[in-house]
Structure 1
Amino acid sequence: MSRSERFAKPEFAPDHTLITGASGGLGRALALHYARKGTHLTLWGRNAERLESVAVACREKGATVSCRVLALNDLDAGIAQFRKDERGRPVDLAILNAGVSDIRPEGALTESVDAVKEAALINYAAPVTLATEAASHMAARRRGRIALIGSVAAHHDLPFASAYSSSKAGLSRFATCLHAAMAPHGVGVTLVEPGYIDTAMSQRLDGARPLLVSPTKAASLIAAAVDRKRAVLVFPSVFLVLKLVSHLVPRALAHRLLRMAKVKQNAKDV
């Protein structure tokens, strides 16, 4: 064994991983990444058929799997379910991946009230309450990881997707606050801010998806950041430059340019 191998930091290997939004493309890739013999996965999702498909693939890799079909707009039900899963087997890694994306309908002056409500609940309220619940258990054990899946949209005032970009902006600030609070207690909190990932959510967009990343590649990058207790992961890295540019460009000019963007999306896949 080489010197580097002897002193290498061991990879974080969770015994129990809980993933929300596991019936989607990124959730599936994350589940398969962590599926291995001797580990347990708890998969949450809204689509029972797709969720079971993910479970079957994970069991083939040797993991044991539990599936929970639930919608995260019911915050009390989500917290109750997390506590039940935590009692059964302590959660070492919570990946809060579930999210929704919607844009202002063509010809409308604003986004729909229902769409804004859904984004506020699922993109912000649900992950921050679940992360807080998870952190309370992990901090007591002085072990665990939490990953919150945000978006590079958090850094831009998107006039056609104000609910999405603002909910992800709120999640971004919460995640870095929780990281600061949990670091002394041995709990890693990682905010993930990806660009376009080749999933059903991005496939709904009618137009170019620059720098597209596969779900498998995204899962690998996320797992590496979680392992290192990295506070923030932005990928592809060019979005770090765009984040800086967004702070330098005068807001009035940025808003004028963003209003010129023609963004459309297809019907939602439920």
Structure 2
Amino acid sequence: MDIFPMTAQSRSHSHIQSHILITGASSGIGAALALNYARSGTHLILWGRNQERLEQIAKKAQQHGASTETHVIDLNNTNHALECLQHIDSDHPIDICIFAAGISDIRPETELTELPHIVQNIACVNFSTPITLATEMAKRMAIRKSGNIALIGSVAAFHDLPMASAYSGSKAGLARFSTALHAAMKPHNVFVTLISPGYVDTPMSQRLVGARPFLVSPQKAARLISKAIGQGRAHLLFPRIFFITKVLEYLMPRSITHRLLRIANVKQNPSTLK
């Protein structure tokens, strides 16, 4: 039995110019990035948990001239994801690797804390699995002296969110890992880019109840992200207004910022993690 399930458009690899792997490609930012990169001469390796949605994105990408393959991967299984990545890169070296998959949750109003099993899932999908895979790709790209890695974080990394401590904590860890890996890999001509978006109009943010200030479309987010990756930037934060909130929280006494964040009382529609 093939442990690397794949569907692919027929192609000759001799004419492929670049191989791009995107996790979380079945929706949201990952799907928008897949379509943004879709063009003749590009081979897209799309990872996600929903085979049907992955195939829909793959077909759209093919219409723009890209070749595609899809892999149903559960990032809660770090070892299997790592094995798949090693297999794919050994077959056809990856030029750009974008870790866009992520999950979020907000503490239920009836609970004093977030639910432990959900915290575990968030830590694995948002932090431990992507940094494991990014480390493997960094080593392989460093040997080849070429490559780009991008990790999709969040502006939540810079704020102590009382109602989403696991989410903000996982993104904070991812942010520090990303900038540290960038420092380590730049001498090897491998560029690691941390992406810190604010509200993007994706299924994840659509679960929130209330205003989503400075909302950005997935398509605009994908354009900004691909440009930053192409430039080899260490960090992209958008919209820029969130740079101001980051600085303000750093300058204000923590007791005051925590009080304000508790008052915010963000809620979400009843839902399971998707």
Give the structure-2-normalised TM-score: 0.92
Contact 1:204 1:268 (8 Å CA) reproduced = no
User: What code does the residue aligned with 2:258 have?
Assistant: H
SS at match of 1:68: strand
Q: Equivalent residue for 1:65? A: 68
1:213-224 maps to which residues of 2 (within 5 A)?
Answer: 213-224=216-227
Alpha-carbon contact 2:21-2:94 (below 8 Å) kept: yes
* Correspondence for 1:154: 157
- 1:82 deviates by 0.2
Q: Residue 88 of structure 2: which of 85, 93, 98 is its match?
A: 85
Which residue of 2 is the match for residue 183 of structure 1? 186
* Aligned-residue RMSD, C-alpha: 1.1
- Superposition pairs of residues 65-144 of structure 1, within 5 angstroms: 65-144=68-147
Equivalent of 1:231 in 231, 234, 237: 234
Consecutive unaligned residues of structure 1, counting only runs of 5 or more, are 1-12
How many residue pairs are counted as aligned between the two chains?
258
Tell me the distance in 1 between the aligned counterparts of 2:38 and 2:196: 23
Q: Deviations over 1:197-237 (max 9, x none)?
A: 00000000011000000001000000110011100000000
On the 8 A contact 1:43/1:68 being kept in 2, the answer is: yes
One-letter amino acid matched to 2:74: A
Instruction: Tell me, yes or no, if the aligned pair for 1:22 and 1:97 is still in contact at 8 Å.
Output: yes
Confirm whether residue 211 of structure 1 aligns to residue 193 of structure 2: no
Structure 2: how far apart are the matches of 1:223 and 1:268? 30
Q: Please name the residue that 1:8 is paired with.
A: none
**TM-aligned CA deviation for residue 268 of structure 1:** 3.6
The runs of at least 4 aligned residues of structure 1 exceeding 3 Å deviation read none
User: For residue 235 of structure 2, what is the amino acid of its counterpart?
Assistant: V
The offset of 1:259, in angstroms, is 1.0
Q: 1:206 touches 1:264 (CA, 8 Å); kept in 2? A: yes
Aligned counterpart for 2:262 among listed residues 253, 259, 264: 259
* Structure 1 residue 120: Cα displacement: 0.6
Q: Deviations over 1:79-116 (max 9, x none)?
A: 00001110121000000000000010112100000111
Q: Cα deviation per residue 1:124-158 (whole Å; 9 max; x = unaligned)?
A: 00110010011111101111000000000001110
What corresponds to 1:201 in structure 2? 204
Shift of 1:260: 1.1
Residue 246 (structure 1) aligned with residue 264 (structure 2): no
Partner Cα distance (1:127, 1:241) in 2: 28
1:19 aligned partner = 22
CA distance in structure 2 between the partners assigned to 1:100 and 1:89 by the alignment: 29
Q: Give the drift of 1:68.
A: 0.4
Within 2, Cα distance between the matches of 1:104 and 1:240? 26
Residue identity in the other structure for 2:216:
V
CA contact (8 A) 1:14 1:93 kept: no
Q: Is the CA contact 1:103–1:111 (under 8 Å) kept in the aligned structure 2?
A: yes
Q: Is the 8 A contact 2:104 2:273 kept in 1?
A: no
TM-score of the two chains, using structure 1 as the length reference: 0.94
Match for 2:40: what amino acid? K
What is the identity, as a one-letter code, of the residue corresponding to 2:132? Answer: T
Structure 2 partner of 1:5: none
Shift of 1:262: 1.9
| Amino acid of the structure 1 residue aligned with 2:177 | F
Q: What letter matches 1:98 in structure 2? A: A
Question: For structure 2, which runs of at least 5 residues remain unmatched after alignment?
Answer: 1-15
SS in 1 for 2:166: helix
Structure 2 Cα separation of the partners of residues 123 and 38 of structure 1: 31
| 1:223-269 Cα shifts (integer Å, max 9, x gaps) | 11001110000000011111100101101111111111121111147
Of 174, 183, 200, the residue aligned with 1:171 is 174
